[in-house]
Amino acid sequence: MILETPISDPNRDAVQARLEALGFVVCPIPETSKSQQPDLAAQADRATMYVEVKTRFEDRVLRDRMEAVGIGETADIFTDLGKQNRISSMVKHASSQLSAAASQNDFRLLWYRADRGLFVSNTKEQIVATLYGMRMVLAERPLLELRSWHCAYAGHADFFRFRQIDGVMVEVNGLISLFLNPFSPRSAAFAVSRIARVLRADDAVFDIQQMITDGKLFAADGDAPRRNDLELLAHLASKYPSTKFICFLSSVAVTTMTTIDGSQGGANNKA
């Protein structure tokens, strides 16, 4: 019988170091190409938290569009900040891996690291849209000017689909933010767990239920008609009668790409 050598993962090791700095005792879980286990088991305050680490190295669509810009040309490249199917697939896979090891009372965390490379952009916004079904809506509230607002659950939320995940940590260029899953059966306990307490002190926890309560964003109800924007706007108008809802907006990021023709040598320096 041939035994597979455990896979070495520098991203897992980096997350282990971060968790240990936050006061956890962390044990890596041996992984092979055929295993379906999470990466880490972390313990603190007599509680166990399983952690699955995922890494995004590049946005292939963004890279293809950037590389398609002709020599000597400038182009604006638009990146959709809405729900992403590739992120949904990653969340689904992570949920299965975490469930394979965790017991009913164990916490389950997906830690998502974004590479610092040229072809990665706006990872946090795309993950928020995917987890919470977040969309932008143009609306006017009393005593406030007409502007765009975030609207949770206006699209299909992966946190509702994969409610066994208690939270998602998003790490971008070394900065971490924790997004809580309000649909988790352990949501109340996870919100006061060690990792949430420590990061809340640094204002690095996104608690969507608190945001909704504070009136910082809108939220569609569970039975909202998400397949029809006009019906969804009517639903929001019924729920928030003092607010005038105009339309939903596309959420995009713009990357301006300019290529230089190096073959021209010094000629490019002429005024």
Amino acid identity at 135? R
Phi, psi (rounded to 5 degrees) for 263: -70, -15
- Structural domain includes residue 109: yes
Name the domain count of the chain.
1
- Structural domain includes residue 97: yes
Phi, psi (rounded to 5 degrees) for 70: -70, 160
- Structural domain includes residue 201: yes
Amino acid identity at 50? Y
46-74 residue pLDDT tens: 999 999 999 875 566 666 666 666 776 77
Instruction: Check if the beta carbon of residue 41 is closer than 8 Å to that of residue 48.
Output: yes
- Structural domain includes residue 1: no
- Structural domain includes residue 168: yes
126-163 residue pLDDT tens: 899 999 999 999 999 988 889 999 999 999 999 999 99
162-190 residue pLDDT tens: 999 999 999 988 899 999 999 999 999 99
SS3 68: coil
- Structural domain includes residue 260: no
- Structural domain includes residue 46: yes
Structure tokens at 2: 């041939």
Say how far apart CA 271 and CA 267 lie, in whole Å: 9
Global model pTM greater than 0.95: no
Instruction: Check if the beta carbon of residue 229 is closer than 8 Å to that of residue 248.
Output: yes
Amino acid identity at 200? R
- Structural domain includes residue 226: no
- C-alpha angle 17/52/202, rounded to 5°? 55
Write out the residue range of the structural domain in which residue 171 sits: 10-135+156-212
